[in-house]
Amino acid sequence: MPKKWLYVIDEAIKRIENDEVELGLTALQKVQEHGKDLPDVMMYLAEVWYRLGHLEEAGQLLTDVMAKNPQMDSSLRRECQLLLAEIALDSSDFETAQHLLYECKESGFESIQLDLLLADLYSLQDLDEVAVKYLEQARLKEPDNQDLMAALGNLYFRIGEDEKAMKLLEQAGDESLSMLLTKGRSYAQSGQFEQAYQVFRQALVMDRSSEVLYGCALMAFHVGRLDEAAELVSSLQAVDEEYVAAYPLAADVNLSMGKTEAAIEALKQYVSLSGFDLDQIRRLIALLTQAGRYEEAKEYQQLHDLWDHESDEEQ
């Protein structure tokens, strides 16, 4: 690519990054107007339009370049096709993306980028088993690529291959928040509560969102750290008092600590937030009855019967 065009495009990008958007876009449009007969310049410009979020502009430019230059270098044509496929995927145009990607594949072309785009094509259509095959294929080309390990590990989780996923994510050294939450849920689902608790504690250092606080409180309860579970539930309710699942957990914790009145209050709050679990309402009725609060128990029994009747009618 002639250096002058590269310089002009890069200067235009700097203008945009420095909030001189109009000047930068004008410069890019001038490049498109005067460099239209140079396929490599247009390809680079299309990549810039794409990075700036101008998908339609980038797609049209690539289509025009390929139509006007049928004899262009095969490697440059493949670059155009792959970027067009990426644009199609971003626009949920799976048919176009598949056509472009398979055209590259059937020509004998192989690359990690092609494998990743094919994985995206199928993953976006909830065909994770097919997507996994392409990520596995990509990893054969770069077995030590940590980004590939993490992506493949997450897909393994989605298809239920939890053991493979955990091994791969640990090998990748991925300690991102999303990875920790995925790992914590996997441990919890397999009954490994102590491991899940330790993972959620790691996540809590990074983020004190409702989801992380709840997960950590639940695991603390399961491993018998009741004081800590109570403190975490209290923090969760302070962060988000409408996080409905926190209230039955608060009831569990309080009952385990012998605090029946606190458990009753937690379940009453649950019902007031429209917690529609009839089992929890029956639990509240039983606790109120045990505490001798018969009138309140009767009120909640009437509410239970009403909701139970409405549920039967819906079915």
Over residues 127-142, mean pLDDT: 93
Nearest to 240 by CA among 264, 213, 206, 265: 213
Q: Compute the distance between CA of residue 303 and CA of residue 315 in angstroms, rounded to an integer.
A: 19
Note the helical H segments in the chain: 3-17, 21-34, 39-51, 55-68, 74-90, 94-106, 112-123, 128-141, 146-158, 162-172, 177-189, 193-206, 210-222, 226-239, 246-256, 260-272, 278-290, 294-314
Contact 183, 155 (CB under 8 A): no
What mean pLDDT value characterizes the chain?
86
Q: Quote the DSSP letter at residue 224.
A: T
Rounded to an integer, the average pLDDT of 126-137 is: 93
Quote the CA–CA distance of 306 and 315 in Å, as a whole number: 15
Residue 13 structure tokens: 């990008």
pLDDT above 70 for 67 = yes
C-alpha dihedral (36, 39, 41, 45), degrees to nearest 10 = 80
Residue from 90, 112, 86, 110 nearest 100 by CA: 86
Q: What tens digit of pLDDT does each residue of 209-230 get?
A: 999 999 999 999 999 999 999 9
Is the per-residue pLDDT at 312 higher than 70? no
Residue 187's pLDDT band (cuts 50, 70, 90): confident
Structure tokens of 296?
A: 């309140």
Cα 191 to chain centroid, rounded: 24
pLDDT at 293: 94
pLDDT over 80 at 144, yes or no: yes
Segment 89-109 mean pLDDT: 93
- Tell me which range, 62-71, 156-165, 280-289, is most confidently predicted by mean pLDDT: 280-289
Answer whether residue 311 shows pLDDT above 60.
no
Q: How many angstroms separate the CA atoms of 84 and 65, rounded?
A: 12
Average pLDDT estimate for 252-270: 95
- What percentage of the chain has pLDDT greater than the value 70? 91
Checking if the pLDDT of 119 tops 90, the result is yes
CA distance 201 to 277: 29
Confidence (pLDDT) at 51? 81
Contacts 24+ apart (CB under 8 A), 58-64: 58/83, 58/87, 59/84, 59/87, 59/88, 61/32, 62/87, 64/36
